[in-house]
Structure 1
Amino acid sequence: MLSTHCYTYKTKGVRKVTIRKASIHDAERILMAAPKALVDAPYMLSTVEDIEKLSFEDIKRELNYYSTNANYLKLVAEYENEIVGVIDFKNGNKEKVAHQGSFAMTVLPQYRNLGVGRALVETMISWARNNETIEKVCLEVMEDNHGAIHLYKSLNFIEEGRKARAVKIDGRYQDLIQMALFV
C-alpha cells in the first residue's frame, strides 16, 4: 500500500526528491508552501487570495478526509524536509462515475522543469493502477500551458475535449483542454 512507501526520484540537477502520501502532520508545511506555489503560476486556477482564506484547521480536515477515502490521494514531494510539490486525486462521488477521477498539481517555482511534476504524476498513476476502483485519470489544463501538456502527452494522456473560454485572466480567455489516461 502506498501509505507505507516513499519513492525517491532523481531530478534534473541531481536533487533527490521524495514522493510520499501526505499525512495530517504535513498540514502546516502544506499551508506554508501553497502561496509560494502560486508565485509566477499563470496556469493555476487558484490565487494567493484563495489560499489566504484557508486555515490550518481547513488543511487538517482535508488531509483527514483524504486519509479516510480509499479512492482519494494526496501526495507531497519533499526536498530537504521542504514540501516542494503536491498532487491530489479525487474520484467521482457517485457509483456510476466512481471509476474515474481527476487530479490537480502544484510545484514550487524553483522546482519546475526539474522532473518533480513528472515524479508526482507517475506516482499517482502507479497508485491508480493498483486501485481496484479507478480506471480513468482525468485532468484539465489551460491551452497555453505547453510544458504541462507535453508532460501529460509523454505519459500517454489523450485529449478528450475542450471547454471553450473556460478561464478568464485579465480580460483574456483560455480554453481548458480535457485529457485522460485509462489505467
Structure 2
Amino acid sequence: MCKISPTNVFTYKSKDGKIVIVREAKEQDAERILNSASKALINAPYMLTTVDDVKNMRVDSIQKTLKAYLENPNYVQFIAEVDGKLVGSIDFKNGNKEKISHQGAFAMTILPEYRNYGIGRALLKTLINWAKNNSKIEKVCLEVMEDNLGAIKLYKNLGFFEEGRKAKGIKMEDGYQDLILMALFV
C-alpha cells in the first residue's frame, strides 16, 4: 500500500504493520545516511560496498553528493524511515554520456534488523515511480550477486528481467559470485 502526499513523501505499511516513510534525501541527512550505511553493511555479504569502504567516507562528501543529486534531475536518492529512524536508502544515477543517458543504475541498503519487512520493496517502488515520471529515464538497471535469491525474487516481482551476467564478477574470500544484470523498462 502506498499513499502519496503533496510534499513527495511516500507512506507505505511494512509487513509487520509499521509505517514506512520514503522521501528524497536532503543535504542535512548526510550524517544519518553515513551512520546508517555503516550499520547496513554489517552482515551484508551481498553488498558490493564494505564497512571498510564506508570508514573512508566523510559527511561533507556525502553532503556534496546529495547536493549534486538535487541539482541533477536524472539522479535521485530516497531514504526510508520507521519511527523517525533512517532504516534504508536507494540511489539512482543515469548514464553520463548522451547515448546512455536514457538508462541508469541503482544501489540499495537496508539495516539488517529491517530486512524482509518490505522496506526494499517500498524504496524500489518509489524509485520506479520516480523513473516513470522522469521523461529522460527509460531503463532502470541493477547488478545482483547470483546467490542473493531474496533480492532477485523482489526484482522479478517488480518486473525486472535478467539481461546478462558478469562471470566471476565478485571475488569473495571463499570463491566467486557471478553478477546478474537485470533491467526494467519504465
TM-score range, shorter chain: over 0.9
TM-score normalised by L of structure 2: 0.96
User: How big is the shift at 1:39?
Assistant: 1.2
SS of residue paired to 1:101: strand
SS of residue paired to 1:65: helix
The answer to whether 1:180 aligns with 2:178 is: no
Which string of whole-angstrom CA distances, capped at 9 and with x for unpartnered residues, describes residues 122-147 of structure 1? 00000000001000000000000000
Percent identity for Structure 1 against Structure 2: 58
Aligned twin of 2:115: 112
Once the two structures are superposed, the pairs formed by residues 1-183 of structure 1 within 5 Å of their partners are: 4-183=7-186
SS of residue paired to 1:88: strand
Distance in structure 2 (CA, Å) of the matches to 1:151 and 1:108: 17
Q: Where in structure 2 are there 5+ consecutive unaligned residues? A: none
TM-score normalised by L of structure 1: 0.97
User: How big is the shift at 1:4?
Assistant: 3.1
1:156/1:181 contact within 8 Å kept: yes
Distance in structure 2 (CA, Å) of the matches to 1:31 and 1:163: 29
Q: 4+ runs of 1 displaced by more than 6 Å?
A: none
CA RMSD of aligned residues (A): 1.4
1:3/1:21 contact within 8 Å kept: no
1:3/1:20 contact within 8 Å kept: no
